[in-house]
Amino acid sequence: MKFDHILVRYGELTLKSGNRNTFVNQLKSNIKYALIPLEGYKVLANRDRMYVEVTEDADVEEIMRRISKVFGVHSVSPVVKVEKEIEAIKEAAVVLAKDIDEPGKTFKVDAKRSDKGFPYETFDLQQILGGEILKHIEHLTVKVKDPDYKLLVEIRRDAAYLYSRVIKGAGGLPVGTGGKTLLMLSGGIDSPVAGIEVMRRGVTIEAIHFHSPPFTSEEAKQKVIDLTQIMAETAGEIKLHLVPFTDIQKMIHKTVPENLTMTSTRRMMMRIADQFARQIDAKALVNGENLGQVASQTLGSMYAINAVTNLPILRPLLTYDKEEIVIKAKEIGTYETSILPFEDCCTIFTPKNPKTNPRLDKVESFESKVDFDAMIETAIEGIETITLSKNNQKTESDFSDLL
């Protein structure tokens, strides 16, 4: 059957009251972005529901697939819109039921009336439509509890809508309604998933990545660009900031005992991320840390590393099992890129026996022997920024040009 509309149901934003229109408008904008460059549709929204009007030649399945991945969408359904006249509704119900006509299958009609002025009570409408379907389709039988198919009918103020499929959406809140964060993006499995998880809560992200040429390769840099591009496919435009980290990393290994180099490395990354986040007006840092997964992610290590910032640090994967993270990475499409064998600056300089419970005073003592403040400023001045969107990327030279 040819459907003329796609019904988009809101998720959590239905709980919003005074500012609901802000959330709805952002969701509408995000859906339009997700549908680029498809044609044959028009997005219509109000406080309660959103409808996508589609033409006869529109790719309805692809439109629904894309919309279902947009954060803030609870579910989508292909629907038929008809006048609120009983004969028109009966005709549409029969045509729709023919799509589910299989020998031995059961169905029920489930009607809802938001327009209480409609002349038929809900139960009466269900009986009329069920009887009409049985009269025209001999293979189907009615089953009230747990039928094989449901034909759903909504009587709203403007029209009647009929459908039989409900496709689960991404849930969460529309990206762009929760402020800006800075994602510390490595080339591994965890951090891209962490970025997607916080975007599910409505925040936008910019990403910061530390690379140390010639110890890290151009392939490793491209891997991170590709990961950012994948995240941008659903979430919208994302800026990736590439930090030249070689000099700082070499100095750490020259002045800090080997078993504390990982701690100092993470602290310097956090210091840079802290300063840069303030410059771009990000309200929190995000990373893919998972409690106890590696030496730098124990409580003792986190305490020593977090001491360099007072910005909130969001760790959406903190208590996940690795298997859960891998499943999510596969779902969002980053897994295959993340496992490419190009190492980042953390993995290539990993000490043999890193401290799992480093003493903050000792770490600070070793770091105080070097003017890391100046080196951090130089690294920030040398940041290369790349803007990635759905269909292209743009290099903005270095961050100093943007000031």
User: What CATH number does domain 180-402 carry, 3.30.70.1230, 3.30.420.40, 3.40.605.10, 3.40.50.620?
Assistant: 3.40.50.620
pLDDT at 403: 37
Q: Where are the domains of the chain?
A: 5-168, 180-402
Q: How far apart are the first and last CA of the chain?
A: 56
Evaluate whether 217 touches 345 at the Cβ level (below 8 Å): no
Tell me the three-class secondary structure of the chain, residue by residue: CCCCEEEEEECHHHHCCCCHHHHHHHHHHHHHHHCCCCCCEEEEECCCEEEEEECCCCCHHHHHHHHHCCCCEEEEEEEEEECCCHHHHHHHHHHHHHCCCCCCCEEEEEEEECCCCCCCCHHHHHHHHHHHHHHHCCCCEECCCCCCEEEEEEECCCCEEEECCCEECCCCECCCCCCEEEEECCCCCHHHHHHHHHHCECCEEEEEEEECCCCCCHHHHHHHHHHHHHHHHHHCCEEEEEEECHHHHHHHHHHCCHHHHHHHHHHHHHHHHHHHHHHCCCCCEECCCCCCCCHHHCHHHHHHHHCCCCCCEECCCCCCCHHHHHHHHHHHCCHHHHCCCCCCHHHHCCCCCCCCCCCHHHHHHHHCCCCHHHHHHHHHHCCEEEEECCCCEEEEEEHHHHC
Give whole-number Cα distances, 139 to 85, 92, 98, 143, 162, in Å. 27, 18, 10, 13, 21
Residues in the annotated binding site for ATP: 184-185, 209-210, 266, 288, 297
pLDDT at 388: 94
User: What CATH number does domain 5-168 carry, 3.40.30.10, 3.30.1360.120, 3.30.2130.30, 3.40.605.10?
Assistant: 3.30.2130.30
The answer to whether the Cα torsion of 29, 30, 32, 36 is positive or negative is positive
pLDDT at 402: 39
C-alpha span between 95 and 162 (Å, rounded): 10
pTM over 0.75? The answer is yes
pLDDT along the chain (403 residues), means of 10: 90 81 93 92 89 94 95 95 95 90 87 92 95 90 92 93 94 94 95 96 96 91 95 87 96 93 95 98 96 82 94 95 95 94 74 86 95 97 94 57 40
Identify any residues that bridge with 238 across adjacent strands, giving them in sequence order.
388
Residues in the annotated binding site: 184-185, 209-210, 266, 288, 297
pLDDT at 288: 94
